[in-house]
Amino acid sequence: MTFPRYTPLVAALPSTVPFVGPETQERERGAAFDARLGANENTFGPSPRAIDAMQAAAGDVWMYGDAQSHDLRKALAAEHGVRPEHIVVGEGIDGLLGYLVRLVVGEGDAVVTSEGAYPTFNYHVSGFGGVLHKVPYRDDREDPEALIEKAREVGAKLVYIANPDNPMGSWHSGADLLAALDRLPEGCLMIVDEAYVECAPEGTALPVQPDDPRVIRMRTFSKVYGMAGARIGYALAAPDLIRAFDKVRNHFGINRIAQAGALAALEDRDWLAHVQGEIATARDRIGQIARDNGLTPLPSATNFVAIDCGGDGALAARVVAGLIARGVFVRMPFAAPQNRCIRVSAAPAETLEFFARALPEALAEAREG
Amino acid sequence: MTFPRYTPLVAALPSTVPFVGPETQERERGAAFDARLGANENTFGPSPRAIDAMQAAAGDVWMYGDAQSHDLRKALAAEHGVRPEHIVVGEGIDGLLGYLVRLVVGEGDAVVTSEGAYPTFNYHVSGFGGVLHKVPYRDDREDPEALIEKAREVGAKLVYIANPDNPMGSWHSGADLLAALDRLPEGCLMIVDEAYVECAPEGTALPVQPDDPRVIRMRTFSKVYGMAGARIGYALAAPDLIRAFDKVRNHFGINRIAQAGALAALEDRDWLAHVQGEIATARDRIGQIARDNGLTPLPSATNFVAIDCGGDGALAARVVAGLIARGVFVRMPFAAPQNRCIRVSAAPAETLEFFARALPEALAEAREG
């Protein structure tokens, strides 16, 4: 007999993890990266006011965080023109996706996503015994019509779309996505992962009514707000669904320092605008570096740029390996044909110079095979 | 049709939460507490070195935390004389208990705990469809023999014991508990929640071999290390079980600032000794306050003291209400006969004075009924 007796579901789960972190890779290569451009972190950092708030909160960390994230939810409600009852704060979008999948997905339940979309969502679905159905990208964008058609076909309980998309950086207008929702089958909830929406053109956020029961939107302080290590994000949905999270969430799970930092970050609109500008500049610079090497940058509404390396996934994987060997941490999409690309996060010019210097050699090496 | 279609298990779950937080109570009463003595937080605070480390890490929070908590696990392994493979770091013991229950407990599976023991563990068991079997305390202590006997009787997959115990503060020697383990039925994993063990007499920690597959020990930085708001704890168990957490855990879920703070806290042995001394002093003071009011303090190996109010649960509940009305946040055990007590956390003398001043009035009022 084995100790302990795992559930049959768990016993059958693979031990693979969604992502290998940069620190793990640094330990494996025996050296730190010069440029950390692979996890879509915000190298421009959090608001100085958020840093101040977190430093001030450090001495208070002997207290559990507020289990209701009251002050933050109140501020977020004002920001979005909704009520606090429309908002649940969680341990990043990863944590919230885990809770949501647990609420809805039992063994054998159908879930729809795109081939090559966010692996951590898939990890949660598999982890609760759901069956993933995947539709391909269309012109390097997620395909709302195809996702919804597949959801209807398989009787999905959840359908996932990231807008803007990770890993491609592509996007749909919020109005188009809202129109597509009218074809969503009964009993299917759409997750709109808006992790990067603050980097996107006006009109990208889903202009949905807050009480609409068909959709839940995910937001985070990890990206444009520069607080990935704080593990704090939130979901916007109808109050019934938000209340359901209370049945399964880790009520005292939100770090007190993170709550203080997120509140301060939200209030610092000047820093947000500053970072948005820096990200736009960095996207242009990444695009220029790509073109200087004869490669094609894809349009991006995120804090990263997918660069078409002009070959197949094997070529792109060799480019990634060559960059990592030269101290530049990047990643690439998982599925063909998007895996012809590498994905490079926005960063200050001096950080991107490491990429600019490493890319020609990595590319030449990769082309030799 | 309802949106979304929850799993049958979730649909049947109650919306009750394990604990109402002090901030929630403060909002309800419209005033802050003068003394926060109800959540067994460590009012003496974290190590100044931990605060420094967290403040220094605040500016790095744009990076995700290390998914492997490598440095912290290495330090913890040295501390415990085990290998990093024996340790998983999680979002507090609450988070780790959730993962563990998910690994082991499916719908209908039997789990054993004590009547009146940690409600958040019960919340997780119910949340994954497990069936709780409870045994009574014996002389205000958890009863290892009865727990193990019940586990055998019901074929439990998990049996939970806190040593020292919350909410009573009582304890067993590690040697006694280890001896009891020899009667644990095959296929049953014992969870030993050692959240408070650093406050306990030498010899309380379970002296188990690190590869022993029968037991998993839970530890935290929330209590004696004073970092409840950081949400960071760890489990010690055989490597196979530790590896299984990788199938379900939120890999990037550990706050980067918390990792830095925990590492610094662990290294500051002087502060640990200082806090241990302050806690011992505070326990004595709480005991004196109890006796000054004709009440009986129970022996404690934790950072709190259970005080026998000399009546039933209704009387103790009125004492708690009276203290809360007077700005002193305390809690009480949930189950009879332990609910004849109130539970008061260790704190500096000036904070305990609020309790000393409020108790006579609260007690008189409670006795009037």
Q: A25: domain CATH number?
A: 3.90.1150.10
Tokens of A25: 């890779």
How many other CB atoms are there within 10 angstroms of residue A30's CB atom? 6
CA-based nearest residue to A336, from A306, A309, A312, A367: A312
Q: Are residues B92 and B177 in the same domain?
A: yes
Q: In angstroms, rounded to a whole number, what is the distance separating the alpha carbons of residues B269 and A87?
A: 41
- Boundary of a domain, candidates A242, A267, A292: A267
| pLDDT, tens only, A303-331 | 999 999 999 999 999 999 999 999 999 99
pLDDT of residue A17: 77
pLDDT band at A2; cut points 50, 70, 90: low
pLDDT above 60: residue A213: yes
Contacts of B96 by beta carbon, 8 Å cutoff, 6+ apart: B88, B90, B218, B233, B234, B235, B245
Q: State both tokens at B123.
A: 């919340």
Residue A3, domain member (yes or no): no
* B251 with A19: Cβ contact below 8 A: yes
Is residue A311 within 8 A of residue A341, CB to CB? The reply is no
Spatial separation of the C-alpha atoms in residues B197 and B177, rounded to whole Å: 13
Q: Tell me which residue range forms the domain holding A102.
A: 48-267
Same domain, A252 and A308: no
The answer, for B14 touching chain A at a CB cutoff of 8 Å, is yes
Which residue type occupies B308? D
Per-residue pLDDT of A157-210, as tens digits, reads 999 999 999 999 999 999 999 999 999 999 999 999 999 999 999 999 999 999
| Cα B50 from Cα B72, distance rounded (Å) | 13
A59/A35 same-domain check? no
Q: Is A122 in the same domain as A29?
A: no
Q: Is residue B2 part of a domain?
A: no
Claim to verify: residue B86 and residue B161 sit in the same structural domain: yes
Task: Confirm or reject contact between A77 and chain B (CB < 8 A).
Answer: no
Q: Which residue of A has its CA nearest to B23?
A: A66
Distance of CA B107 to the CA centre of its chain: 25
Q: What is the pLDDT of residues A122-156, one digit of tens each?
A: 999 999 999 999 999 999 999 999 999 999 999 99
The verdict on A316 and A203 lying in the same domain is: no
Same domain, A41 and A146: no
pLDDT at A78 over 60: yes
Residues of B in contact with A103 (CB under 8 A): 4, 6-7, 10
| CA A189 – CA A214 distance, rounded (Å) | 5
Widest pairwise Cα distance in chain B: 61
Task: State residue A15's pLDDT score.
Answer: 81
Say whether both A211 and A63 belong to one domain.
yes
What does the pLDDT read at residue B1? 53
In a domain, B11, yes or no: no
Using the Cα atoms of residue A256, residue A259, residue A260 and residue A265 in order, give the sign of their dihedral: positive
Whether A53 maps to a domain, the answer reads: yes
Residue A1 has pLDDT above 70, yes or no: no
**Count of domains for chain B:** 2
Q: What CATH number is given to the structural domain containing A154?
A: 3.40.640.10
Residues with Cβ within 8 Å of residue B37, at least 6 apart in sequence: B43, B304, B328, B329, B330, B344, B345, B347, B351, B352, B355
Which of A205, A240, A267 is where one domain is finished? A267
Give A10-58 pLDDT, tens digit per residue.
999 988 777 899 999 999 999 999 999 999 999 999 999 999 999 999 9
The SS3 of residue B304 is strand
Per-residue confidence (pLDDT) for residue B2, from 0 to 100: 59
**pLDDT value at residue B172:** 98
> From the candidates A27, A36, A62, A99, which should be mutated to test the interface with B, based on the most B CB atoms within 10 A?
A62
Q: What is the pLDDT of residues A6-23, one digit of tens each?
A: 999 999 998 877 789 999
- Say if residue A92 is in the same domain as residue A135: yes
- CB–CB of B247 and A95 under 8 A? no
**Average pLDDT across chain A, whole number:** 97
Same domain as A283, residue A261 = no
Residues B79 and B39 in one domain: no
Is residue B297 helix, strand or coil?
strand
The answer as to whether A289 is a domain residue is yes
Query: How far does Cα B34 stand from its chain's mean position?
Result: 23
Report d(CA A335, CA A205) in Å as an integer: 26
Q: Kindly state whether residue A7 falls inside one of the protein's structural domains.
A: no
Q: Is there a single domain that holds both residue B306 and residue B214? A: no
Low-confidence ranges of chain B (pLDDT < 70): 1-2
Res A85 pLDDT > 90: yes
**Mutation for A interface: B27, B33, B52, B63, most A CBs within 10 A:** B63
